[in-house]
């Protein structure tokens, strides 16, 4: 699994100043479309986060609601609005230019990153920093996620597989083949996407049945077999599946790191990671930097594939809380309990314990004035204890007490509660040598690690804290 950077969506559903031509697309429908986009974009390592409660920002503005991609500097106001939301990806849901009929077209454009540009797909501006889609539910149907992924592809640097912004006219198609051969229809100038005459030529000259007609055909003696599954084609009615080529993925990676798009990942890109590795075999997965909703969805998906979460981490990127997890092949009962209060978490721990599940990993964080807890549970038996939120003296005393009862600390957490440092531990039945070493500096800890290593002890959990870490 390679989703490593999450981009947050800032959706602006528009209506006129007087409330007319209002948006009828619901946050639920938009969220479902984003889910589809994430499936299509999985090869890129980008994931788009959308919370209908936090990322849906209705706005009354007749000018923006009339947004269309024609005329002089039509992008100016929309770009200015998008510029206010650095670190977020702006999507406008608008009616369009006509006062009576909503626009059919959705649009987005690649930024000018220096990449070679197709001759028949000129960029209107060096950086159109938003995506515009319909605000009408009647035009936001079952294919909305597929079309939205197509527009996101443009935003992140991709051109059509056919050689123009719209589907090219049949006369242009023939002329390009006569002049340049098959490469005349290489719309995006990439070597691993097939030349494409576009859907208009296909329906006019090959077969009216866009999806059921011949897969290959000739133009001026040259054989063409356009990829009807490619995300940047116009064969939406033939999809899914929706595919993306390796070179398209490379373009997206280059674009997200360009100055025009870098603001979307600057904070996420600054996060650093550390890992402890052991030899092993079997299926495994790493899912990094997702929001709560996306992480729980991925947990469910991987659970059905026989993978079990064994380690959970949480951290903040800007104002957004992110979750990451390590998964290994496994079977049997398991559970994930995410973001509860102390009282609720203890109640859930007791409930799951009675069902034969054992806590193997604990995480905690501050949400405003409320401390939240999350736990990873796996099927298990035998003695176990959760000791939560004690001061050091009390925690150390409890550690000794439980040690004498044949329990071993398997997960350790610490945090600051005002001026008081708190400690929490997960204990499971166990035997053999063990040690707890807390509150040393790096040099002392490293020395102790070396000494304990020589005695046959292995580090299984590490926490870092101090005056600037909590």
Predicted pLDDT at 276 = 60
- Tell whether 15 and 61 lie within a shared domain: yes
Tens of pLDDT along 335-360?
Answer: 999 988 999 999 999 999 999 999 99
Q: Does residue 104 surpass a pLDDT of 60?
A: yes
Predicted pLDDT at 289 = 74
Predicted pLDDT at 236 = 93
Nearest Cα residue to 387 out of 379, 378, 377, 397 = 397
C-alpha distances out from residue 287 to 49, 216, 291, Å: 14, 39, 11
φ, ψ at 365 (rounded to 5°)? -155, 165
Whether 89 is covered by a domain: the verdict is yes
d(CA 356, CA 324): 25
- Tell whether 290 and 359 lie within a shared domain: yes
DSSP-assigned states of every residue in 147-205: HHHHHHHHHTTPPPSSSSSSPPPHHHHHHHHHHHGGGGG-TT--TTS-----HHHIIII
- Tell whether 69 and 151 lie within a shared domain: yes
Whether the Cβ atoms of residue 94 and residue 132 lie closer than 8 Å to each other = yes
Predicted pLDDT at 344 = 93
Whether 295 is covered by a domain: the verdict is yes
Whether 44 is covered by a domain: the verdict is yes
Nearest Cα residue to 354 out of 374, 381, 336 = 381
Predicted pLDDT at 242 = 96
Euclidean distance between the first and the last CA atom of the chain, given in angstroms as a whole number: 30
Torsion of CA 199, 201, 204, 205, to 10 degrees: -130
81 token code pair: 């609005």
Tens of pLDDT along 404-423?
Answer: 888 888 888 888 888 888 88
- Tell whether 236 and 332 lie within a shared domain: no
Strand partners, 457: none
- Tell whether 372 and 408 lie within a shared domain: yes
Provide the pLDDT confidence category of residue 470 given band limits of 50, 70 and 90: very low
Whether 338 is covered by a domain: the verdict is yes
Whether 61 is covered by a domain: the verdict is yes
Predicted pLDDT at 459 = 64
Mean of the pLDDT values across residues 117-140?
95
State how many domains the chain has: 2
Q: Does residue 265 surpass a pLDDT of 90?
A: no
Tens of pLDDT along 37-87?
Answer: 999 999 988 889 898 888 999 999 999 999 999 989 999 999 999 999 988
Nearest Cα residue to 133 out of 99, 87, 102 = 102
Strand partners, 423: 390, 414
CATH number, position 132: 3.40.390.10
Rg (CA), the chain: 27
Predicted pLDDT at 2 = 42
Q: What is the mean pLDDT of the chain?
A: 88
Residue with tokens 């040259």: 222
- Tell whether 250 and 385 lie within a shared domain: no
Mean of the pLDDT values across residues 78-101?
94
CA angle 51, 54, 57 (to 5 degrees): 110
More reliable by pLDDT, 291 or 439: 291
Whether 234 is covered by a domain: the verdict is yes
- Tell whether 98 and 20 lie within a shared domain: yes
- Tell whether 300 and 243 lie within a shared domain: no
Q: Quickly list H helices, 217-285.
A: 246-256, 266-269
Q: Which domain holds residue 412?
A: 282-436
d(CA 380, CA 387): 18
C-alpha distances out from residue 40 to 4, 87, 153, 242, 396, Å: 15, 22, 10, 6, 50
Ranking 128-142, 153-167, 224-238, 327-341 by mean pLDDT, the lowest is 327-341
More reliable by pLDDT, 458 or 283: 283
- β-pairing, 88-94 with 5-15? parallel
Whether 188 is covered by a domain: the verdict is no
Could you tell me which residues come within 8 angstroms of residue 121 by beta carbon, excluding any fewer than 6 positions away? 159, 160, 163, 164, 165, 187
Q: Does residue 202 surpass a pLDDT of 60?
A: yes
d(CA 304, CA 381): 23
Predicted pLDDT at 347 = 94
Helix (H, G, I), strand (E, B) or coil at 79: helix
Alpha-carbon dihedral sign for residues 12, 129, 36, 210: positive
- Tell whether 244 and 336 lie within a shared domain: no
Mean of the pLDDT values across residues 452-468?
66
- Tell whether 238 and 358 lie within a shared domain: no
Mean of the pLDDT values across residues 357-384?
91
- Tell whether 235 and 295 lie within a shared domain: no
- For the whole model, what pTM was predicted? 0.71
Nearest Cα residue to 139 out of 105, 181, 173 = 105
- Tell whether 251 and 311 lie within a shared domain: no
Percent of the chain exceeding pLDDT 90 equals 59
Largest CA distance in the chain: 86
Whether the Cβ atoms of residue 383 and residue 408 lie closer than 8 Å to each other = no
Whether 183 is covered by a domain: the verdict is no
Predicted pLDDT at 345 = 93
104 token code pair: 């059919």
Alpha-carbon dihedral sign for residues 448, 453, 457, 462: positive
Tens of pLDDT along 21-34?
Answer: 999 999 999 999 99
Provide the pLDDT confidence category of residue 446 given band limits of 50, 70 and 90: low
Tens of pLDDT along 289-306?
Answer: 778 888 898 899 999 999
Provide the pLDDT confidence category of residue 1 given band limits of 50, 70 and 90: very low
């Amino acid at each position: 699994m390679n989703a490593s950077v999450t981009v947050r969506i800032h959706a602006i559903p528009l209506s006129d100043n007087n409330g007319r031509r209002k948006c009828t697309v619901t946050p639920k429908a938009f969220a479902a479309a984003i889910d589809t986009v994430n499936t299509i974009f999985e090869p890129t390592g980008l994931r788009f986060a959308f919370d209908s409660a936090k990322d849906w920002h209705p706005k009354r503005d007749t000018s923006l609601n009339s947004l269309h991609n024609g005329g002089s500097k039509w992008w100016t106001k929309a770009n200015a609005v998008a510029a206010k939301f650095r670190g977020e990806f702006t999507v406008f849901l608008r009616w369009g230019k006509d006062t009576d009929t909503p626009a059919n077209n959705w649009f987005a454009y690649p930024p000018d990153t220096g990449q070679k540009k197709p001759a028949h797909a000129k960029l209107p501006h060096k950086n159109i920093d938003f995506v515009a889609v319909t605000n009408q539910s009647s035009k936001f149907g079952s294919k909305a996620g597929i079309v939205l992924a197509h527009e996101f592809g443009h935003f992140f640097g991709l051109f059509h597989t056919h050689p123009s912004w719209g589907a090219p006219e049949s006369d242009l198609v023939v002329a390009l083949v006569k002049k340049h051969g098959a490469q005349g229809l290489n719309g995006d100038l990439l070597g691993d996407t097939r030349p494409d005459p576009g859907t208009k030529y296909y329906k006019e000259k090959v077969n009216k049945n866009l999806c059921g007609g011949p897969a290959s055909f000739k133009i001026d003696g040259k054989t063409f077999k356009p990829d009807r599954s490619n995300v940047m084609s116009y064969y939406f009615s033939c999809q899914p599946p929706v595919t993306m080529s390796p070179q398209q993925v490379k373009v997206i990676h280059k674009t997200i790191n360009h100055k025009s798009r870098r603001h979307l990942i600057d904070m996420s890109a600054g996060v650093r990671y550390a890992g402890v590795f052991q030899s092993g075999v079997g299926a495994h997965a790493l899912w990094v930097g997702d929001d709560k909703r996306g992480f729980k969805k991925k947990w469910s998906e991987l659970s059905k594939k026989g993978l079990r979460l064994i380690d959970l981490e949480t951290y903040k990127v800007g104002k957004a809380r992110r979750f990451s997890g390590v998964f290994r092949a496994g079977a049997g009962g398991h559970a994930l309990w995410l973001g509860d209060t102390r009282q609720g978490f203890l109640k859930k721990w007791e409930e799951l314990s009675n069902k034969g599940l054992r806590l193997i990993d604990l995480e905690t964080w501050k949400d405003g004035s409320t401390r939240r807890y999350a736990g990873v549970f796996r099927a298990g038996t035998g003695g176990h204890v959760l000791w939560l939120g004690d001061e050091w003296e009390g925690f150390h005393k409890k550690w000794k007490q439980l040690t004498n009862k044949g329990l071993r600390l398997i997960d350790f957490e610490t945090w600051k509660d005002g001026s008081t440092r708190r400690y929490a531990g997960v204990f499971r039945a166990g035997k053999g040598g063990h040690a707890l070493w807390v509150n040393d500096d790096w040099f002392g800890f490293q020395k102790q690690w070396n000494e304990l290593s020589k005695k046959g002890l292995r580090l299984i959990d590490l926490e870092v804290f101090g005056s600037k870490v909590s």
